[in-house]
Amino acid sequence: MPRGSYLFTSESVAEGHPDKVCDRISDAIVDLFLGHDPQARVAVETLATTNHIVLAGEVRGPSSITPDMLEATARHAVKDIGYEQEGFHWQNAKVDVLVHAQSADIAVGVDAAGNKDEGAGDQGIMFGYACRETESLMPAPIHYAHAILRSLAEARHSGAAPGLGPDAKSQVTLLYENGRPVRATSIVVSTQHAENLDQAEVREIVRPHVLNCLPKGWMCGEDEFYVNPTGRFVIGGPDGDCGLTGRKIIVDTYGGAAPHGGGAFSGKDPTKVDRSAAYAARYLAKNVVAAGLADRCAIQLSYAIGVSKPLSVYVDTYGTGVENEEKLAAILPSIVDLSPRGIRERLSLNRPIYARTAAYGHFGRAPDADGGFSWERLDLVDSIKQALS
């Protein structure tokens, strides 16, 4: 049964947050390789600090992709985010490329050969989740936290809010009654800004974006609306704080409202089940909820390196389901092939579609015409219902 009244909080970080800058660069490199060779293998991490970017990792792909191309890709990603600051500038930052060939020991376990199908790129557990709190079937706190930052970013890029910088964070606390969100009790937004703006001015720039993103009547009281609580946020991005790929895994997923397997997504090609199986688990969970079989659904998958089939499929509908969870766990693998190859082919993941996922969440986004966010499709509803009948 759902709890009575309680508060739940989720945070988001903008594309200019130091860790998100690194996620964006790493995913842009994944796109670079997949754009040249859909079967390329990529595991590239990024570190960013004051006017310095470091790329490190393992790849297997065309020799035509040179270190100079990797550096150019990193610079373009930083430019697109909007960093042209003294302490972090897309054109002036030093870029070190420390990327080498993929381990042969990993390749032999993952590659298909003879009668052996392609195996998982690593062991691990992955979760997917969906619920009825929003139209996107995402938890409401993370949904609105992302929406606020996307709105601010759009205003910054369009020139409507020239005083804002790329680095920003949001945090949304919602009151739940009888298990349903009813209003915000506090909102926190910290955003980098120009030297000539004071805290009160930034607050009024931010306010309409918050009001427009929340449902009518959901805004918190004025004393719980926090904008730049320290009073000043001029130095930001990697100049203010070191960034690393893969440090915002809760922001990337469900804002803490659902379990997380621990693996990051960015910088990894889709043979890595940390990424592809988490997408598949969301795909299944979302379709279960959309089919009317539960109000909330979490799905766990597990894998072993070099093994093609999942070791386990677990379904939890939190007492909201209309079907037996064990039955759901049994039929879902018959609807979607959950081997690494099966997931990649079903969701068409061997495409350069990943840079766009690096900020504002990997889930709850509309599917793109070119195959981006394919795991958000609702094309399994009829198949699930038929399998259960």
**Residue 79 assigned ligand-binding role:** no
Count Cβ atoms below 10 Å from residue 389 Cβ, excluding itself.
5
Q: Are 148 and 170 in contact (CB under 8 A)?
A: yes
Q: Checking phi first, is residue 206 left (phi over 0); if not, alpha (psi -120 to 50) or beta?
A: alpha
**Residue 94 assigned ligand-binding role:** no
**Residue 274 assigned ligand-binding role:** no
Which residue is listed with tokens 């897309």?
A: 90
CA distance 249 to 19: 10
Q: Are 287 and 381 in contact (CB under 8 A)?
A: yes
- Kindly give, in sequence order, each residue whose CB lies less than 8 Å from that of residue 336, ignoring residues fewer than 6 positions away: 280, 283, 284, 342, 343, 346, 380
**Residue 68 assigned ligand-binding role:** no
Q: DSSP readout, 321-360?
A: -SS-HHHHHHHHHHHS--SHHHHHHHHT-SSS--GGGSSS
**Residue 362 assigned ligand-binding role:** no
**Residue 216 assigned ligand-binding role:** no
**Residue 232 assigned ligand-binding role:** yes
**Residue 17 assigned ligand-binding role:** yes
**Residue 241 assigned ligand-binding role:** yes
| Helix then strand then coil, % of the chain, to nearest 5 | 35, 25, 40
**Residue 11 assigned ligand-binding role:** no
Give the residue ranges of the annotated binding site for K(+). 45
Give the residue ranges of the annotated binding site for Mg(2+). 19
Give the residue ranges of the annotated binding site for ATP. 17, 167-169, 232-233, 241, 247-248, 264, 268
Give the residue ranges of the annotated binding site. 17, 19, 45, 58, 102, 167-169, 232-233, 241, 247-248, 264, 268, 272
Give the residue ranges of the annotated binding site for L-methionine. 58, 102, 241, 272
